[in-house]
A and B are shown apart, each in its own frame.
Chain A
Amino acid sequence: MSLKTAAAGGNVKHHKEPLFHLVKRTDIATWKKWLIRIVTVAAALLLSGIVCAVLTDGSNFIGFYEQLFRGAFGSTWRIQVLFQSWAILMCISLAVTPAFKMRFWNIGAEGQTLIAALASVTVIMYLGGKVPNAVLILVMLAASILAGAVWGAIPAIFKAQWGTNETLFTLMMNYVATQLVLFSVNAWAKDGSGTLGVLNYGSFDGLFGLEYIQNVVFVTVLTVIVFIYLKFSKHGYELEVVGESVNTAKYIGINVKKVIIRTMIFSGVMCGFAGFLLVGGSPTPTVNGTLVGGRGFTAILVSWLSKFSPVAMVFVTLLVVFLERGSSQAANSMRLGDTAAFEDIVVGLFFLLIIACEFFINYKVKFRKKEGK
């Protein structure tokens, strides 16, 4: 049944068996998997609490958990901020998913989102106040989606036509986007301070009467669309086949180049939408080099942890933003100083442990039996 018996049965040359080897698990029960995951999340939280206690000379172990929840759910406003953060991270996570399902290593979501935000801001800078707000917002949407799509399509075309490395290409596109933003901001900020400040036009925050909620609505709709696209559409099937095996895809008559480019454009469009929400969906539209703030990379982890399932992604994203908001509040209330670092520690512990746990769910470690058993 296991690999071990297969190996022992063969008539192979004897050499020293390694101390341990890994065996793929195939038979683990679903409830066991989930038990392991839940225990892992609890362990990550426990470790974070211990880190917090150490940093505060032992005075704040329980306080950490209290502040964690307060920071995320402590007031109506905090819940709104939590879901606003959820919407953006979720949107980008959805965006990277089709490409990863196709095994296209797109790490350019950060740049695609940023360039889309820049496109929206460019529209505001040149049309703001000159056209009705509804028209302005529609033009922003179109510009953002176009910018995101172009930023996604460029590496895809190069990959499909000339086989360039998409990881390096998309990474470089991030830097290009950041520099373009810095260049534009410096050109627009006439006072020389290097910051653009809040723009007076282009915000559609409060569209449904509740601040910060319209993004959540849009992204929820997008989640359903992506779910249907991946699960029930021909496109979704094709990109999955390309991901499993390019040769199989070719054999059954799939135009691989077309699928790669099409899927990356779709990813880029969704990143573009995220960039549009980051600008227009905020009460304070602006752009700067750190607007996306690494969410383009966090989204990759979220997408993989969710095993590319949009439904699982809803909850993984929520868990991540909950940890971010909560740990930031904990660090602030305990005067830990570098709140960003503490946030990174808590979220980092979570990712580290959960990835390790996925490994042990999929593989079993077998140690060498003692000599002369």
Chain B
Amino acid sequence: MKLKKVLALVLIVALLAAVGVALVACDPEDEFKVGFIFLHDESSTYDKNFIDAAREATSALGLSDSQVLFRTNVPESEECYNAARDLVDEGCDIIFADSFGHEQYMLQAAREFPDVQFCHATGTRAHTEGVANYHNAFASIYEGRYLAGIAAGMKLVDMYGDENDALTDEEAKIGYVGAYTYAEVISGYTSFYLGVKSIVPNVTMEVTFTGSWYDETAEREGASLLISRGANLISQHADSMGAPSACEQEDIPNVSYNGSTEASCPDTFIVSSRINWVPYFNYMITQVQNGEAIAADWTGTLENGAVVLTDVGAAAAAGTQDAINAAREKLIAGTLEVFNTANFTVTKTDTLNVNATVDNGVLTAYMADVNYDEAFAADTQVVANGVFEESAYRSAPYFDVRIDGITLLNQKF
């Protein structure tokens, strides 16, 4: 009886294996291939931004579907390494991964397969690791957030401004839902805040962190909390629709990230900044096709089309688009700097901003952690000529100064 059962199971498995081997017999031919590893799928605004760009860039370059391999829902674990190796086996010439936590797995695969180019968005280690086929890319998205902040400031003035466009302190209170208390997020909310501040000088902002890059419930609750505490406008740096939909429900204007949320939030959507990855995908693919090297650390900018803003929403104040365009020109020309130290003040304590040198509230020097090491030590002086030079020493953000006017309700590391 037992023996029969075993025998039957053995036969099933043998049959399955035989069919499998037969189907696999044909080898993939040797053509140019790009593999993409995504943390989630299109239900995440973060990944959708990458997936759309990958589709657009590859089809514009004339690559067929069989030359472009997607791996979605790849967690930041051994699965990432497995997926990378699988893509190598599939004959990929370039493998790209989109999430910060993928970095070490990509780096490991890069060391093992020197003939394949590994590109990783948001990572920090390529410029110091010295692995020739491993590359990082990011964009100066803080400039995009600053421009989005201008739109937010104009909306506040539109709603509450008196005859001199001035707001009371209560009216000038806004909120921000972040993922982690981490340089990328800090750089993002600070630049957004400075954008608002350029229009509303007395603006204050409260920030709450969810401790996750994608947690719809926590993001919704975070936004609701901020609104209940008196925030008159919300922006966010997390990947779900949680915060925008909470804003739509409460009728509070929302400045989005990673793409327009106007379709689901028509009454409250103001504008969204996002990184357009098409220029980078274009660059990495054409470099390899032409037999040229990919830069270890590539920074997308307003100028090369990587930092973009969506069209302003119907809820935005009149004249917003013109104001954004004017500021954009100045940022590109270099006559306007987001992190100009004259535009904000900093308080240094024993536990806060320990890497900063502050003179009368003005940031005069700052040692940032630019180069990767186990201890996460501050290693590079990044303030020069009255400007905190973000994205200059590596593409991924390292601005983690806590400036005055922004209150963190919690911290999530």
Contact = CB atoms under 8 A, between A and B. Distances in A.
Interface string A281-310: 011101010110100000000000000010
B99 to A, nearest CB: 9
Contact of A284 (B41, B108, B412): B108
B277 to A, nearest CB: 18
Contacts of A318: 13
Contact of A288 (B9, B23, B76, B181): B76
B396 to A, nearest CB: 11
Contact of B70 (A66, A284, A332): A332
Nearest to A42: B12
B104 A338 contact: no
Interface string A325-347: 00000011101011110000000
B161 to A, nearest CB: 37
Given A332-B69, A335-B70, A193 B23 contact: no
A190 interface: yes
B409 interface: no
Interface stretch (A69-77, A218-226, A244-252): A69-77
A194 B180 contact: yes
B16 interface: yes
Contacts of B5: 30, 34, 312
B375 to A, nearest CB: 7
B43 A338 contact: yes
Contact of A337 (B2, B4, B16, B41): B41
Contacts of B179: 194
B348 interface: no
B263 interface: no
B75 interface: yes
A193 B412 CA distance: 9
A232 B181 CA distance: 56
For A315, A322, A337, the residue with the greatest tally of chain B CB atoms inside 10 Å of its CB is A337
Given A190-B376, A197-B101, A318-B13, A283 B413 contact: no
A78 B13 contact: no
A173 B229 CA distance: 35
Interface string A159-203: 000000000000000000000000000100111111101100000
Contacts of A70: 20, 23-24
Interface string B252-269: 000000000000000000
A311 B16 contact: no
B104 A191 contact: no
Interface residues of B, number: 53
A339 B211 contact: no
Interface in B143-188: 179-183
Nearest to B21: A73
Interface in B1-32: 1-2, 4-6, 8-10, 12-13, 16-17, 19-21, 23-24
A194 B24 contact: no
B72 A312 contact: no
B328 interface: no
A290 B80 CA distance: 14
A197 B4 contact: no
Interface stretch (B81-89, B198-206, B319-327): B81-89
Contacts of B69: 332-333
Contact of A283 (B1, B75, B78, B101): B78
Nearest to A38: B12
B128 interface: no
B376 A73 contact: no
B399 to A, nearest CB: 13
A142 interface: no
B215 to A, nearest CB: 11
Contact of B9 (A190, A191, A312): A312
A41 interface: yes
Dominant secondary structure at the B interface:
helix
Given A73-B17, A192-B181, A195-B100, A282 B12 contact: no
Contact of A332 (B4, B71, B77): B71
A146 to B, nearest CB: 24
A81 interface: yes
Interface in A96-143: none
Contacts of A81: 82, 86
A337 B75 contact: no
B239 interface: no
B120 to A, nearest CB: 13
Nearest to B27: A75
Given A30-B1, A283-B78, A75 B100 contact: no
A58 to B, nearest CB: 17
Contacts of B41: 337-340
B297 interface: no
Contact of B76 (A195, A282, A339): A195
B390 interface: no
A291 B78 CA distance: 9
A315 B9 contact: yes
B78 A338 contact: no
Contacts of A41: 12
Interface in B208-223: 211-212
Contacts of B180: 192-194
Contacts of A283: 78, 81, 108
A282 B23 contact: no
Contacts of A192: 180-183, 413
B20 A311 contact: no
A121 to B, nearest CB: 13
Contact of A338 (B73, B108, B376): B73
Nearest to B413: A192
Interface in B294-318: none
Interface in B48-107: 65, 69-73, 75-78, 81-82, 85-86, 89, 100-101, 103-105
Interface string A21-38: 000000000110010001
Contacts of A282: 78
B389 interface: no
Nearest to B89: A75
Interface of B: 1-2, 4-6, 8-10, 12-13, 16-17, 19-21, 23-24, 41-43, 65, 69-73, 75-78, 81-82, 85-86, 89, 100-101, 103-105, 108, 179-183, 211-212, 369, 375-376, 412-413
For the complex of A and B, 5 pairs with smallest distance between CB atoms = A69-B20, A73-B20, A192-B182, A315-B9, A195-B101
7 contacts: A69-B23, A70-B23, A186-B211, A189-B413, A192-B183, A284-B105, A311-B2
